[in-house]
Amino acid sequence: MRCKGRIKVKGPDGKKRNKLCNNKLDRHAIFCPVCGEPTGALKNELSARKNWQQSWQKVKANLAKYLPFAIFFIFTAILINAAALYVTWGNYWLLNLAMLFTVPLLLIPLAITNYEFTIANYLKKLRFYHQYWLFVLINIAYFFLLKVICTGFLINVAIDAILHIVRLIMVLYWLAIILPAPVLIAAKKMNALKAIKISYIASAETRWQQFFLEIFIMIGIIIGAALAGLGLLVAIPLMFHVIIRYYWALNEFELFTPKRDEN
């Protein structure tokens, strides 16, 4: 495949003119390394919207198979987290301590990288609990640091109100770049810290798409919860399916290779 972008070159008279780039592109290229022209990957294989639509089609076709898992997930992982929130709400330290042990239960389905969402597979993937525990700990530490810097928590320093907006942006940015990390932990059998580091490097060119995917997921969960909670029976398998699917799309473009990690 050749790049169809334009580059400026000097003519015999010394004036710059537009010329077809025509650089031979690697099949995994997202942007042309010569002129920076997008290859179309972000509008096709790595598009948040298209991955969401494709996941929806798959989940819709297999919804009956996913329903027992969704019900099980609601009455175990979600209820445990809801109870922990209810009991510790209002105490920052107890709340984070509770989340450290309960949130990993919400992440376990992301270790089911073949989309076979069943109760049996969920129980098998509990072996990744310790890595998801570490993953949650790293997130808690990051959010704690943001809270201190952006709100003056614990240090009793007056903070400009604009930093509250900065905090929100940094939270959304962080969640976007680490989106594939929980799947990476299971798919590549790596520790949580390395998975976050590689996800950060790998998402250099896809962060906006991951952000859009994050927004789609949030909207799906909100709508699912609003429909008397019954919508969660669809939203839960859809959420996990789309994150895993996007991980495999990134992997297809070799964004998790050691070469990328070293750059």
Tens of pLDDT, residue by residue over 159-180, are 888 888 999 999 999 999 999 9
| Model confidence at 18: pLDDT above 90 | no
Per-residue pLDDT, averaged over 201-228, amounts to 89
Model pTM score:
0.88
Answer for the pair 36, 202: CB distance below 8 angstroms, yes or no. no
Per-residue pLDDT, averaged over 178-193, amounts to 95
Tens of pLDDT, residue by residue over 100-119, are 999 999 999 999 999 999 99
**Residue 49, pLDDT score:** 93
d(C-alpha 243, C-alpha 236), whole Å: 11
Sorted by sequence, the CB contacts under 8 Å of residue 173 that are 6+ apart come out as: 207, 211
For a pLDDT cut of 90, what percent of the chain falls above it?
Answer: 68
- For helices 207-226 and 162-177, angle between their N-to-C axes, nearest 10 degrees: 100
Label residue 160 left, alpha or beta by phi (over 0 means left) and psi (-120 to 50 means alpha). Answer: beta
